[in-house]
Structure 1
Amino acid sequence: MFDAKIRPLIDPVLNAQGARLAALGVTANQITLLGLALGLLSAALIACGAVGWALLPLLASRLADGLDGAVARAGRPSDFGGYLDIVCDFVFYGAVPLAFVALAPAANGLAGAFLLCSFYANGASFLGYAVLAEKREMKTRARGVKTLYFTGGLLEGAETIGFFVLLCCLPGSFVPLAYAFGTLCFLTALSRVLLAAKVFGD
């Protein structure tokens, strides 16, 4: 919901830093994999009970997720780079809820499963829409220059990062927060399906 509004504010800073990194020989794929490693470190810290400490690598991983595209734009963007980026994003998004389940399986298990199912539904609606948009040669730059077609929605990247930060700050409230966010994810997926029916239902 907020991604399109945030991009014009953060893109100039990210592009400037991305150009500097590219000039040093750093590649976008290296930044992407670093971001994944930091995200998985954050998940490992959560699972081990160091939830507060997990915030630092979590936020650093999302900074890397923004920088990889800026580095690619300063150098040579590639389809594989965009593919690797979305795969790493989905692994990260799944690892954090899984970590909270590992932290307290009995208390968090069902809510964590509900949350992961909602991510699965939302991700499927997003990727399916992107495939059909590519087939019809649709273009958008509302959320920056992307390899895939990014549709808007109630919940997007900014909201998910904010949710993960909230979970780290309030780990004892994982269950109600997971059910609330998961419900909003399902609503986002439903809205995207309805949009697809309108745009592609010919």
Structure 2
Amino acid sequence: MLDGIMRRVIDPPLAVAGRRLAAAGVAADAVTLAGFAAGLAGAAAVVLRLDVLAALLFLAGRLADGLDGAIARAGRRTDRGGFLDIVCDFAFYGAFPLAFALRDPDANALAAAALLFSFYVNGATFLAYAAVAARRGWETEARGVKSIYFTAGLAEGTETILAFLLMLALPQHFPVIAYAFAAMTLATALGRGLVGWHRFRDAPQGRAPGFSPPERDDHARP
């Protein structure tokens, strides 16, 4: 919901920093992995109730997530880099609800499970939509230049960052915040699912050359 606004604010300074880092020989993949490590360290800090440190590490991880793409665009974008970025993002965001569950299982476990479920469903619609869009040759830069097709929603990256920072600022209210954000995330997933159902229902429209419908895998697992 807010990503479109935020991209206009953060993209110019990120582009400048990305060009400078690329010129200095910093690799985008290295920044991705460093950001992921910071995120995991932040999750560990949550478990240890070091909330200020957790917030700083979380923000460092998100900064790295913005810089890696800027570095790649200033140098050479690769499919491997895009793949690594998506995998690390999903693991990064999954680590924080798990950390709150481990921190106080009695108070937080159920809410953390609900939040992780919403992330799982949202991730499924996100990746499925992106896969079909790629096979049809669709592209968008509405959420910045990305490795895969991004769609707008109620809960996007900016909202996720704000929600996690709110959890760290008010850890005693984690269940309420988690349930509220899970509802927003599921609403985003539902909206994307309905858009996909509508846009993909007439298969011949918008086919890229060589397009064939994705095969169903009844035994697929995340």
Name the structure 2 match of 1:193. 193
Name the structure 2 match of 1:181. 181
- Unpaired runs of 5+ residues, structure 2, are 203-222
Q: Using the alignment, how far apart are the partners of 1:165 and 1:94 within structure 2?
A: 15
| 1:36 corresponds to 2:39 | no
Matches within 5 A, 1:77-88: 77-88=77-88
Relative to its length, the structure with more helix (as a share) is 1
Deviation track 1:11-68 (CA, whole Å, cap 9, x = no partner) reads 1100100011111110100000011000001000001111222111110110000000
- Unpaired runs of 5+ residues, structure 1, are none
Q: Using the alignment, how far apart are the partners of 2:119 and 2:193 within structure 1?
A: 15
Aligned AA for 1:178?
A
**Under a length normalisation based on structure 1, what TM-score does the superposition of the two structures give?**
0.99
Structure number with greater Rg is 2
| 1:138 corresponds to 2:138 | yes
Name the structure 2 match of 1:75. 75
Q: Using the alignment, how far apart are the partners of 1:94 and 1:24 within structure 2?
A: 32
Aligned AA for 2:37?
A
SS in 1 for 2:175: helix
Q: Using the alignment, how far apart are the partners of 1:114 and 1:144 within structure 2?
A: 29
Aligned AA for 2:200?
F
Kindly, what percent of the aligned residue pairs are identical?
55
RCO higher in 1 or 2 (8 Å CA, sep ≥ 6)? 1
Aligned AA for 1:83?
F
| 1:168 corresponds to 2:182 | no
**Under a length normalisation based on structure 2, what TM-score does the superposition of the two structures give?**
0.90
Q: Using the alignment, how far apart are the partners of 1:17 and 1:53 within structure 2?
A: 24
Q: Which runs of 4 or more aligned residues in structure 1 lie more than 3 Å from their structure 2 counterparts after TM superposition?
A: none
Aligned AA for 1:152?
A
Deviation track 1:66-92 (CA, whole Å, cap 9, x = no partner) reads 000000001100011011001000000
Aligned AA for 1:19?
R
Q: Using the alignment, how far apart are the partners of 1:133 and 1:154 within structure 2?
A: 20
Aligned AA for 1:191?
G
Name the structure 2 match of 1:123. 123
Q: Using the alignment, how far apart are the partners of 1:201 and 1:2 within structure 2?
A: 29
Name the structure 1 match of 2:104. 104
Q: Using the alignment, how far apart are the partners of 2:136 and 2:158 within structure 1?
A: 27
Matches within 5 A, 1:9-24: 9-24=9-24
Q: Using the alignment, how far apart are the partners of 2:162 and 2:9 within structure 1?
A: 17
Aligned AA for 2:11?
D
Q: Using the alignment, how far apart are the partners of 1:10 and 1:112 within structure 2?
A: 30
